[in-house]
Amino acid sequence: MPFFENGWVVILGGLYKYIKAVFLNGKPFKKNFITQEDINAGGVLKIVASAVAVKISNTENWISNLEK
């Protein structure tokens, strides 16, 4: 059961260990990373968890500059 601590939702244990969907301010968030600018802008980040792994996603993958 989640509980709230200083504005954060904390989920303890359970079967829901996979991320099914993410929304930022009610809109689908399609990146698999969040930038400092996203955090500074504020808003509501909603993470929908799942007990089953998501096999196909349409997220924008982050590639490190170190890998180029």
- Does pLDDT of 47 surpass 70? yes
- Does pLDDT of 64 surpass 70? no
The pLDDT score that the predictor gives to residue 8 is: 61
Domain with 24, as residue range(s), is: 3-53
Residues 1-18, buried b or exposed e (16+ Cβ, 10 A)? eeeeeeeeeeeeeeeeee
- Does pLDDT of 1 surpass 60? no
Largest Cα–Cα distance of the chain, in whole Å? 42
Residue 46 falls inside a structural domain: yes
For the whole model, what pTM was predicted? 0.65
Residue 40 falls inside a structural domain: yes
Domain total of the chain: 1
What is the distance between the alpha carbons of residues 16 and 30, in angstroms, rounded to a whole number? 20
19, β-bridge pairs: 49
- Does pLDDT of 27 surpass 90? yes
